[in-house]
Amino acid sequence: MLFLLASVVVFNVAALWIPKRLSRLEMWTNILFAAALQLVVDMYLDVKLQLYGYFNKGVDWGFLIAVCGIYPAVGTMFLNYYPLHGSLLKRTGYILGWTVASLLYEFASLKSGYFYYDGWRIWYSAMCYPLLLGLLVWHLRFIRRLKR
């Protein structure tokens, strides 16, 4: 639990401290989109299929600390510096860098005990993170089109 709480503090301080390139509307809509996506994915992979989970099997209130305390801050930091107009190589490298960082954090979460696998493998995450990060980018572009 200490690792999770320390992560919440560090990620949120970092997200608040960085210079913002996103509008408040873009941050808010992407936070809501990411939270909804995370909850749907967890509902199936954690609760229904029981492939992984937070703290204990089944629905656990502790997972809200991770979902509400970490994902909004990390999603905001990811999108804030995403090179929307960069080359394909730069955009791909950025997503791969965040994928590696996410895998390292997931591994640390496993070791700390707030996250567990029960049929899930880390290489599944390695395949999913680029897709999920790409969905965040797609959503940001979608919101910007709607704003125009």
- Per-residue pLDDT tens digits for 36-49: 998 899 889 988 89
Reported as type and span, the H/E element at residue 113 is none
**How many separate domains does the chain show?**
1
Range of the domain at 33: 2-9+22-147
> Per-residue confidence at 94, pLDDT binned at 50, 70, 90?
very high
- The whole-number average pLDDT for the span 82-110 is 97
pLDDT at position 98: 98
> Per-residue confidence at 73, pLDDT binned at 50, 70, 90?
very high
- Domain-located, residue 17: no
For the chain, give the mean pLDDT.
Answer: 93
- Domain-located, residue 43: yes
Collect all residues with Cβ–Cβ distance below 8 Å to 20 and sequence separation of at least 6.
27, 80
- The whole-number average pLDDT for the span 104-113 is 95
Q: pTM of the entire structure?
A: 0.91
26: helix, strand or coil? helix
- The whole-number average pLDDT for the span 85-101 is 97
Strands 115-117 and 52-54: antiparallel
- Domain-located, residue 15: no
